[in-house]
Amino acid sequence: AQSVTQLDSHVSVSEGTPVLLRCNYSSSYSPSLFWYVQHPNKGLQLLLKYTSAATLVKGINGFEAEFKKSETSFHLTKPSAHMSDAAEYFCVVRTRAQKLVFGQGTRLTINP
C-alpha cells in the first residue's frame, strides 16, 4: 500500500529564511506525489506534483520539491519564507485507483 510520512508536525522559521518540510513515501511502484497547502478556513490548494518526469519539481509561490528514489523522499523547500506561507502543508501520494493518501500534515509558522 502507498503511504507518506511527514517527519515534522510543526516547523517554525523566520521570515526571509529557507523552508524545509520533510516527507518520506512508501510505494510498490513509481509514485505520483503531491504537496498541497491548506490556509486557515480555506480549501486545499495544489502546490506542485511529481509524476515521473523531472525529479526537481517547481510549484507555485516559489516552492520546489525534489524526488529522491534512493532516499524515498519528496521534501518541500523554499529559499526565503514569507509571512503568507504560514499554513498547513500536506504531502500526498496517489494510488493506482487515483485515491489520494495524505500525510499527517506539517504546520508551518513564520516568525517576523
Partner 1 sequence: DTGVSQDPRHKITKRGQNVTFRCDPISEHNRLYWYRQTLGQGPEFLTYFQNEAQLEKSRLLSDRFSAERPKGSFSTLEIQRTEQGDSAMYLCASSGLAGSSYNEQFFGPGTRLTVL
Task: Name the site residues for partner 1 (rule: CB under 8 A).
Answer: 34, 36, 42-46, 49, 90, 92, 97-105
SS3 for 25-86 is EECCCCCEEEEEEECCCCCEEEEEEECCCCCEEECHHHCEEEEECCCCEEEEEECCCCHHHC
Q: How far is the CB of 111 from partner 1 (least distance, A)?
A: 22
Minimum Å gap between C-beta 18 and partner 1 is 24
> Could you tell me the smallest distance in angstroms from the CB atom of residue 112 to partner 1?
25
Which is closer to partner 1, CB of 9 or CB of 80?
A: 9
Cβ atoms of 104 and 91 within 8 Å: the answer is no
Q: Which is nearer to partner 1, 1 or 112 (CB)?
A: 1
